[in-house]
Structures are given as structure tokens and as C-alpha cells.
Amino acid sequence: MSEVTTCPYSKTNPYPAKLLVRARANAPESQKETVHLEIDLGNSGLVYKSGDSLGVFPRNAEKLVDAVLKAYKFSGDEDVTLPKATESIKLRAALTTELSLGAITKKFVQFVHDNAACDCDKAKLAEVLGNADPVAQKAWIDNRHVVDLGEEFPSVSVSAQAFVEQLRKLAPRLYSISSSPRFVGNDKVHLTVAVVRYETNGRARDGVCSTFLGEYAPLGEAALPVFVANSHFAPPADLNAPMIMVGPGTGIAPFRSFVQDRAAQGAKGKNWLFFGDQRVKTDFLYQKEWEDALASGLLTRLDCAWSRDQEYKIYVQDKIREAGAEVWKWLNEDGGYFFICGDAKRMAKDVEAALLDIFQQHGGLSPEDAAAKLKTLKAEGRYQKDVY
């Protein structure tokens, strides 16, 4: 009788994995900051497959926790009890691993207003809360994080317990796994993470989890809380089926896994990758691997769109349109699969629009029939998106 083992680790009980490798994936002079990570799942029993994501629970950066403590006049040594918890913990620990110090809500602005000791702070906050223009009010709130309100309205005076009750839980983030367990082993996971940095309200902001992974998560310690998030996004079960993969930027992640998976299985299906990023010299993620895959025939075709190597933008959908006749053939005659991963807001929509144009231009379909064709591909699992 075979022994059935169940893994005790999940989103509610994450596994403390070991971060083994953190390497910059862009050249040093790049404007992008993408990191390649290798993580050891040890004997956790966690199982993943090509197309799955890894959930990561981040920690807030120490410098941000310090700034929040200072802004609200706490030492960090205060005892607080979080919602649903039975035991108290120190405020510093709660702000580091349990609570979000990022975006605020109108309710939080109201809380600071209600606890501001000075009339001038109260008046300014009352003005924000009473703003009849909802767009301007939202913009004011969206521009600020938890730390900003404590700094801008220094008369606010609250207990540590009341403060933590206003903060949201620090949520885990998902990352498409960029390795195949068949290729790197069941106990290893690779990720490809773009470190998020931006500025609002005149202050530099760091994306919580991408900076944690890209900068300060300790290496070599069993200290990275993770779980596997299974996905329907997966390479074709039919190893002979052709696949077209569109993955600009970090959208490349699952396709590195797909191609590794096919290599490990000796799959004969054709593999076509569309990649795009800012500049060929600095942002060609996993360049050597793709060149080797092309040379060995594992990758049938590679089309790259470098958006900032010329005065006008070239995006993956431009390359897809240029190769429209061949794309149509792979999908219509050869039974191919079409995958998109990466930015949901613009890229995925623009790529879908390009595909619909190709169905019309090269397949001679009407706009309605092109939409129906895409719907059929979706229903057959031959048009899949993993976008964020």
C-alpha cells in the first residue's frame, strides 16, 4: 500500500523556506531592477507544477517601521493584541510582520482627525474629509501612506492598541514560479521579481514584498514564509502541441518554467516566445538560457520587442502583428496554445486586441467570428492568461 503524505503547509500555515540565491537579472546600468531568486523548500512536502505561483509573506522594512513608530510617538515596546489573537505581542513585531503600513483609507483619516490634539490639524483633516470633490479627496488619500499622516499631523495622539486596530493585515503576495520542478527538483523554486519603487507625496516608496525579496530578506536562513498557490495556468498536457508564449518583463517567469518543463519531458511540441523589455543590452532577462534553447532547437522561435532602444515604442504586440500569418497558422492549423503573462492593465489587453486583428486579417474572420474564435480557444484551454 502506498503511503499518503499530506503537506502541513498552506497559506494559513506558511513554510519557513530558505532563500538561497538573489541575483540581479538586469545589467547594472539598467533602469529596471529585476531579481532572480532561488528558494529551498527543503523537506516541507510542498508540491508545485509548472504555471503555479508562490505566495510570500513579506516583512515591512525596519526603516519604515522606525519611521512609523517615531511619527506616532511610540517606542515599539508597547504590548498590543491583534484581532482574533489570544496573546499580546510587542508593537514593533506587529508593525513588522503583521500589519500593512502602506495605503490608507478614509476611515484612517477620520481616526487621525478624531485623535488630533491641535485645532489646526483637526481643521485641515476636516477639510479633506468634507471635500465635496470625490476625485480630489481620493487623490489626497491615495497619495499618502500610514507614516505620512503621523508626520503631517504631529498632534495626533493614540494608544498603541487603538492604532493597530486601524491597520489592515499585511497580505502575502503571489509570484509566478519561474522554474519547473521536473528541471530543478521538487524542493527548489525560482522567482523573477521586479522591485517596485515609486514616489508619492514627495516621498520615495518601496513595494513591500518586492523590496523584501529583492533587498533584505535574509539569505541562507529558514525565514521566508511561503506557500504554493495552484493555478489552472499550465503548459499543454499534449507534449506535441505547439505553444506561443507572450511574456514581457516579469511576464517571462512562467514561460521559463514551461520551457524547462518541456525540456525535462523531451517534449516535441514547437515553442515560440515573445519577450519584451526596455533595452536589449540591459534587460534581456535570461538571455543566455534563451539563446541556448534556440541553438538546441528547444525554442523554435524568439521575437523580442525592445521598447526604449529607438525613439518610438516597440511592444510585443507589434512583433505579434508582424508575425501574424505564422501566429494564425500555429493556432488555426497546428492546434497551438497561446499564453500571456505580465501586466494586466495595458499589455494583456493590447495583446488580445492584436490577436483579434490577426484572426480577421489572416483568417478572414469578421470581428464577431474573431471574438467567437477566441472564446472557443479559451474554452479549449488554448488561450490562457496569468496577468496582474
Ligand X SMILES: Cc1cc2nc3c(=O)[nH]c(=O)nc-3n(C[C@H](O)[C@H](O)[C@H](O)COP(=O)(O)OP(=O)(O)OC[C@H]3O[C@@H](n4cnc5c(N)ncnc54)[C@H](O)[C@@H]3O)c2cc1C
Binding site for ligand X (CB under 6 A): 53, 102, 173-176, 192-194, 196, 198, 200, 207-211, 250, 253, 386, 388
Binding residue for ligand NAP, selected from 58, 214, 248, 254, defined by CB under 6 A: 248
| Residue nearer to ligand NAP on the CB measure, 289 or 350 | 350
CB of 332 to ligand X, least distance (A): 29
Residue from 121, 277, 303, 386 in contact with ligand NAP (CB under 6 A): 277
By CB under 6 A, name the one of 148, 343, 352, 357 that touches ligand NAP. 343
Among 81, 278, 300, 360, binds ligand NAP (CB under 6 A): 278
CB of 383 to ligand X, least distance (A): 17
Residue 159: phi and psi, rounded to 5, are -80, 155
**Residues within window 183-202 making contact with ligand NAP, judged by CB under 6 A:** 194, 196
Pick 195 or 305: Cβ nearer ligand X: 195
Shortest gap between Cβ of 385 and ligand X (angstroms)?
10
CB closer to ligand NAP out of 181 and 247:
247
Q: Find the residue with minimal CB distance to ligand X.
A: 207
Whole-angstrom Cα distance, residue 361 to residue 23?
Answer: 43
Q: How far is the CB of 314 from ligand NAP (least distance, A)?
A: 8
Closest distance between ligand X and the C-beta of residue 109, in Å?
Answer: 17
Q: Reading across the β-sheet that carries 173-176, which strands appear in turn?
A: 173-176, 53-56, 222-229, 15-24, 34-40, 188-194
Of the pair 108, 388, the CB lying nearest ligand NAP is at: 388
Out of ligand NAP, ligand X, none, what residue 355 binds, judged by CB under 5 to 8 A for its kind, is none
- CB contact set of 136 (below 8 Å; sequence gap of 6+): none
Question: Among all residues, whose Cβ is closest to ligand NAP?
Answer: 249
CB nearer to ligand X: pick between 196 and 298: 196
Give the Å distances, CA to CA, from 326 to 38, 178, 225, 329, 359. 36, 27, 44, 5, 11
Cβ distance to ligand NAP smaller for residue 3 or 199: 199
Residue numbers 286-325 binding ligand NAP by CB under 6 A? 307-308, 313, 315-317
> What backbone phi and psi angles, to 5 degrees, belong to 229?
-110, 110
Cα(first)–Cα(last) distance of the chain, in Å?
Answer: 43
Considering only residues 4 through 63, tell me which ones interact with ligand NAP, judged by CB under 6 A. 32, 34
Nearer to ligand NAP, 122 or 145 (CB): 145
Q: Which is nearer to ligand NAP, 57 or 315 (CB)?
A: 315
CB 141, min distance to ligand X, A: 12
The contact set with ligand NAP (CB under 6 A) reads 32, 34, 194, 196, 248-251, 276-278, 307-308, 313, 315-317, 342-343, 346-347, 350, 388
